[in-house]
């Protein structure tokens, strides 16, 4: 399962980033995955500590519902940036919903990935059977190792026997 670093270690990283900042325009955003490990209360608590330590923004990853986002906006000082993954399925939120909730910005971490996957499909000879695209280490039953979500590698599977297609 997912693990998070001790809060003291994260606070030390924020302090190091602040100490190393030479350009006043450099925006320091701290994020935590605590919501999926310890719950939203722990994630909000960490974000509050990150802001008190001097981060310009603190983002609790995995806080996706509009009521939870509004809670974060009430309880954590600073701007809130949403993450809109095209792989979110039913958890997906529209930009209009997020803006109405008070979110100031959004990232699209999978947009380029899915655009690249579509481009691969577009250049394959017509009729090539595609069983699915898999994020390395996450969904493909044939992958080994761990998936670095900030440096994703996609595997195109073109054989029909693929046990779990993700199309």
Q: Torsions phi, psi of 140, nearest 5?
A: -75, 125
Give the up-direction half-sphere exposure of residue 90: CA atoms within 13 A in the CB hemisphere.
0
Lowest mean pLDDT among 42-46, 73-77, 122-126, 140-144: 140-144
Tell me the two tokens of residue 142.
């044939």
Host H or E run for residue 98: helix 95-101
Digit-coded pLDDT (tens) for 50-106: 999 999 999 999 898 899 999 999 999 999 988 877 666 666 788 899 899 999 888
pLDDT in tens, 21-30: 999 899 999 9
- At residue 108, the pLDDT reads 79
Own/partner pairs, 142-145, CB within 8 angstroms, 24+ separation: none
Q: Which has the higher per-residue pLDDT, 122 or 134? A: 122
CA atoms within 13 A on the CB side of 2: 15
More confidently predicted of 24 and 49? 49
Contact present, 28 and 18 (Cβ < 8 Å): yes
């Amino acid at each position: 399962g997912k693990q998070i670093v001790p809060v003291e270690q994260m606070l030390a990283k924020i302090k190091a980033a602040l100490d190393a900042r030479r350009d006043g325009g450099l925006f320091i955003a701290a994020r935590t995955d605590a919501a999926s490990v310890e719950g939203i209360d722990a994630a909000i608590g960490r974000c509050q500590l990150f802001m008190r330590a001097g981060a310009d923004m603190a983002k609790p990853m995995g806080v996706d519902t509009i009521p939870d986002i509004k809670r974060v906006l009430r309880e954590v000082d600073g701007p809130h940036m949403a993450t809109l993954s095209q792989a979110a399925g039913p958890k997906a939120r529209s930009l209009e919903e997020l803006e109405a909730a008070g979110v100031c910005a959004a990232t699209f971490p999978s947009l380029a990935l899915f655009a690249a996957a579509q481009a691969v499909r577009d250049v394959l000879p017509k009729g090539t059977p595609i069983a699915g695209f898999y994020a390395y280490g996450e969904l493909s039953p044939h992958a080994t190792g761990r998936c670095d979500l900030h440096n994703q590698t996609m595997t195109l599977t073109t054989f029909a026997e693929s046990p779990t297609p993700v199309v």
